[in-house]
Amino acid sequence: VSLNDSHNQMVVHWAGEKSNVIVALARDSLALARPKSSDAYVSYDYGRSFRRISEKLNFGEGNSSEAVIAQFYHSPADNKRYIFVDAYAQYLWTTFDFCNTIQGFSIPFRAADLLLHSKASNLLLGFDRSHPNKQLWKSDDFGQTWIMIQEHVKSVSWGIDPYDKPNTIYVERHEPSGYSTVFRSTDFFQSRENLEVILEEVRDFQLRDKYMFATKVV
Protein backbone atom coordinates (compact mmCIF):
# COMPACT_ATOMS: atom_id res chain seq x y z
CA VAL A 1 0.00 0.00 0.00
CA SER A 2 1.27 3.51 -0.78
CA LEU A 3 1.11 6.13 1.97
CA ASN A 4 2.25 8.98 -0.32
CA ASP A 5 4.58 10.12 2.45
CA SER A 6 7.71 12.21 1.82
CA HIS A 7 9.62 11.50 5.05
CA ASN A 8 12.89 9.61 4.69
CA GLN A 9 12.39 7.07 7.50
CA MET A 10 9.54 4.78 8.47
CA VAL A 11 9.15 2.62 11.57
CA VAL A 12 6.52 -0.13 11.26
CA HIS A 13 5.22 -2.31 14.09
CA TRP A 14 2.75 -5.22 14.11
CA ALA A 15 0.81 -5.44 17.38
CA GLY A 16 1.09 -9.24 17.43
CA GLU A 17 -1.05 -11.75 19.35
CA LYS A 18 -3.27 -12.59 16.34
CA SER A 19 -3.99 -8.89 15.81
CA ASN A 20 -4.54 -7.25 12.41
CA VAL A 21 -3.18 -3.92 13.71
CA ILE A 22 -0.04 -2.31 12.30
CA VAL A 23 1.27 1.08 13.48
CA ALA A 24 3.62 3.10 11.28
CA LEU A 25 5.62 6.25 12.01
CA ALA A 26 7.04 8.29 9.13
CA ARG A 27 9.69 10.80 10.14
CA ASP A 28 12.79 12.62 9.02
CA SER A 29 16.12 11.26 10.19
CA LEU A 30 16.87 12.27 13.77
CA ALA A 31 20.45 12.87 12.60
CA LEU A 32 19.27 15.98 10.78
CA ALA A 33 19.86 19.32 12.50
CA ARG A 34 16.20 19.56 13.50
CA PRO A 35 13.57 17.33 11.90
CA LYS A 36 10.46 19.43 11.28
CA SER A 37 7.62 16.95 11.00
CA SER A 38 6.33 13.41 11.33
CA ASP A 39 3.23 11.43 10.44
CA ALA A 40 1.66 8.45 12.20
CA TYR A 41 -0.61 5.85 10.63
CA VAL A 42 -2.53 2.79 11.79
CA SER A 43 -3.89 -0.16 9.84
CA TYR A 44 -6.66 -2.39 11.15
CA ASP A 45 -6.58 -4.82 8.22
CA TYR A 46 -2.99 -6.10 8.36
CA GLY A 47 -1.60 -3.38 6.13
CA ARG A 48 -4.06 -3.36 3.24
CA SER A 49 -5.08 0.19 4.15
CA PHE A 50 -3.76 2.81 6.56
CA ARG A 51 -5.45 5.65 8.42
CA ARG A 52 -3.50 8.82 9.27
CA ILE A 53 -3.68 9.58 13.01
CA SER A 54 -1.27 12.53 13.22
CA GLU A 55 -4.10 14.95 14.03
CA LYS A 56 -4.69 13.02 17.28
CA LEU A 57 -1.08 13.67 18.32
CA ASN A 58 -1.46 17.33 19.27
CA PHE A 59 -0.66 19.49 22.29
CA GLY A 60 -4.28 20.27 23.15
CA GLU A 61 -6.51 23.29 22.78
CA GLY A 62 -4.75 26.63 22.61
CA ASN A 63 -1.44 25.20 21.39
CA SER A 64 -1.06 25.13 17.62
CA SER A 65 2.53 23.82 17.63
CA GLU A 66 3.02 20.74 15.49
CA ALA A 67 4.19 17.60 17.26
CA VAL A 68 7.30 15.88 15.93
CA ILE A 69 7.09 12.24 16.99
CA ALA A 70 10.54 10.76 17.58
CA GLN A 71 9.39 7.20 18.22
CA PHE A 72 6.70 5.04 19.73
CA TYR A 73 6.68 2.21 22.25
CA HIS A 74 4.47 -0.89 22.42
CA SER A 75 3.51 -2.48 25.73
CA PRO A 76 4.76 -6.07 26.04
CA ALA A 77 2.11 -6.65 28.73
CA ASP A 78 -0.93 -5.41 26.74
CA ASN A 79 -0.71 -5.33 22.95
CA LYS A 80 -3.48 -2.69 22.67
CA ARG A 81 -1.27 -0.06 24.35
CA TYR A 82 1.17 2.31 22.65
CA ILE A 83 3.08 5.41 23.76
CA PHE A 84 4.17 8.13 21.31
CA VAL A 85 7.00 10.49 22.31
CA ASP A 86 7.73 14.00 21.02
CA ALA A 87 11.27 14.71 19.81
CA TYR A 88 11.61 18.06 21.58
CA ALA A 89 8.73 18.78 23.95
CA GLN A 90 8.23 17.24 27.40
CA TYR A 91 5.09 15.54 26.19
CA LEU A 92 3.78 12.10 25.32
CA TRP A 93 0.59 10.44 24.06
CA THR A 94 -0.91 7.13 25.15
CA THR A 95 -3.51 4.78 23.74
CA PHE A 96 -5.17 1.77 25.35
CA ASP A 97 -7.18 0.66 22.30
CA PHE A 98 -4.93 0.37 19.22
CA CYS A 99 -4.95 4.16 18.58
CA ASN A 100 -8.74 4.52 18.35
CA THR A 101 -8.51 7.05 21.19
CA ILE A 102 -5.31 8.89 22.14
CA GLN A 103 -4.60 11.08 25.18
CA GLY A 104 -1.73 13.55 25.55
CA PHE A 105 0.11 14.59 28.72
CA SER A 106 2.75 17.10 29.72
CA ILE A 107 5.52 15.34 31.62
CA PRO A 108 8.41 16.72 33.74
CA PHE A 109 11.25 15.43 31.52
CA ARG A 110 12.17 14.58 27.94
CA ALA A 111 11.20 10.96 27.38
CA ALA A 112 14.03 9.97 25.06
CA ASP A 113 14.14 6.44 26.52
CA LEU A 114 11.18 4.53 27.96
CA LEU A 115 11.28 1.04 29.44
CA LEU A 116 7.87 -0.63 29.66
CA HIS A 117 7.46 -3.48 32.13
CA SER A 118 6.97 -6.91 30.58
CA LYS A 119 4.06 -7.92 32.86
CA ALA A 120 2.75 -4.86 34.75
CA SER A 121 1.08 -2.89 31.97
CA ASN A 122 0.86 0.42 33.89
CA LEU A 123 4.48 0.42 35.04
CA LEU A 124 7.27 2.13 33.09
CA LEU A 125 10.57 3.91 33.52
CA GLY A 126 11.72 7.05 31.73
CA PHE A 127 15.37 7.99 31.27
CA ASP A 128 16.26 11.58 30.33
CA ARG A 129 19.77 11.45 28.84
CA SER A 130 19.52 15.09 27.75
CA HIS A 131 19.24 16.45 31.31
CA PRO A 132 22.55 17.51 32.92
CA ASN A 133 21.78 15.21 35.86
CA LYS A 134 20.74 12.21 33.69
CA GLN A 135 17.46 11.65 35.53
CA LEU A 136 15.53 8.39 35.92
CA TRP A 137 11.74 8.58 36.38
CA LYS A 138 8.97 6.09 37.19
CA SER A 139 5.27 6.03 36.31
CA ASP A 140 2.63 3.71 37.78
CA ASP A 141 -0.22 4.88 35.52
CA PHE A 142 1.14 4.38 31.99
CA GLY A 143 2.80 7.74 31.68
CA GLN A 144 0.26 10.17 33.14
CA THR A 145 2.20 11.02 36.32
CA TRP A 146 5.87 10.59 37.17
CA ILE A 147 8.27 10.65 40.12
CA MET A 148 12.06 10.95 39.86
CA ILE A 149 13.83 8.00 41.49
CA GLN A 150 17.53 8.48 40.63
CA GLU A 151 20.02 10.90 39.07
CA HIS A 152 23.44 10.66 37.36
CA VAL A 153 22.26 7.50 35.60
CA LYS A 154 24.37 6.00 32.83
CA SER A 155 22.17 2.98 32.05
CA VAL A 156 19.10 1.20 33.40
CA SER A 157 17.40 -2.13 32.79
CA TRP A 158 14.62 -4.22 34.25
CA GLY A 159 15.49 -7.34 36.21
CA ILE A 160 15.35 -10.71 34.49
CA ASP A 161 12.45 -13.07 35.13
CA PRO A 162 12.55 -15.56 36.88
CA TYR A 163 15.90 -14.69 38.48
CA ASP A 164 14.84 -11.32 39.90
CA LYS A 165 11.79 -10.08 41.78
CA PRO A 166 9.08 -8.46 39.57
CA ASN A 167 10.01 -4.82 40.33
CA THR A 168 13.78 -5.24 40.20
CA ILE A 169 15.81 -2.65 38.30
CA TYR A 170 19.54 -2.44 37.66
CA VAL A 171 21.01 1.06 37.50
CA GLU A 172 24.51 2.01 36.45
CA ARG A 173 25.23 5.37 38.10
CA HIS A 174 28.00 7.88 37.33
CA GLU A 175 30.21 8.65 40.34
CA PRO A 176 32.46 11.71 40.93
CA SER A 177 35.49 9.43 40.40
CA GLY A 178 34.58 9.13 36.74
CA TYR A 179 33.63 5.48 37.04
CA SER A 180 30.24 3.87 37.74
CA THR A 181 28.51 1.93 40.49
CA VAL A 182 25.92 -0.72 39.62
CA PHE A 183 22.91 -0.96 41.95
CA ARG A 184 20.05 -3.42 42.17
CA SER A 185 16.81 -2.14 43.74
CA THR A 186 13.53 -3.99 44.26
CA ASP A 187 11.47 -0.96 45.37
CA PHE A 188 12.68 1.80 43.00
CA PHE A 189 15.20 3.23 45.50
CA GLN A 190 12.59 3.82 48.21
CA SER A 191 14.58 2.08 50.97
CA ARG A 192 18.14 1.03 51.76
CA GLU A 193 16.92 -2.42 52.82
CA ASN A 194 15.97 -3.24 49.24
CA LEU A 195 19.06 -1.69 47.65
CA GLU A 196 22.19 -3.69 46.83
CA VAL A 197 25.52 -2.59 45.38
CA ILE A 198 26.42 -5.11 42.68
CA LEU A 199 29.67 -3.66 41.30
CA GLU A 200 31.87 -0.63 41.91
CA GLU A 201 34.47 1.24 39.81
CA VAL A 202 32.93 0.02 36.57
CA ARG A 203 33.57 1.49 33.13
CA ASP A 204 30.64 -0.21 31.38
CA PHE A 205 27.84 -2.57 32.40
CA GLN A 206 25.28 -4.63 30.49
CA LEU A 207 22.61 -7.14 31.51
CA ARG A 208 21.89 -9.87 28.95
CA ASP A 209 19.39 -12.56 29.95
CA LYS A 210 20.74 -14.07 33.17
CA TYR A 211 24.28 -12.79 32.59
CA MET A 212 25.95 -9.55 33.71
CA PHE A 213 28.84 -8.11 31.71
CA ALA A 214 31.06 -5.39 33.13
CA THR A 215 34.33 -3.67 32.29
CA LYS A 216 36.31 -2.81 35.42
CA VAL A 217 39.48 -0.90 36.19
CA VAL A 218 42.23 -3.08 37.69
- 118 domain-assigned: no
**Could you report the per-residue pLDDT of 6-48, keeping only the tens digit for each?**
777 889 999 988 899 999 999 887 666 665 789 999 999 999 9
Same domain flag for 102 and 134? no
Q: What is the pTM of this model?
A: 0.90
Same domain flag for 7 and 95? yes
- 116 domain-assigned: no
- 123 domain-assigned: no
Same domain flag for 93 and 168? no
- 145 domain-assigned: yes
- 112 domain-assigned: no
Same domain flag for 188 and 139? yes
In angstroms, the CA 201 to CA 218 distance is: 9
At residue 61, the pLDDT reads 83
Same domain flag for 79 and 144? no
Considering its fold, how many domains does the chain have in total? 2
**For residue 15, how many C-alpha atoms fall within 13 Å in the half-sphere facing its CB?**
23
Is the distance from CB of 92 to CB of 107 less than 8 angstroms?
A: yes
In angstroms, the CA 45 to CA 49 distance is: 7
Residue ending a domain, among 49, 74, 106, is 106
User: Residue 55 is part of which domain span?
Assistant: 1-106
- Indicate the pLDDT class of residue 126, thresholds 50, 70 and 90: very high
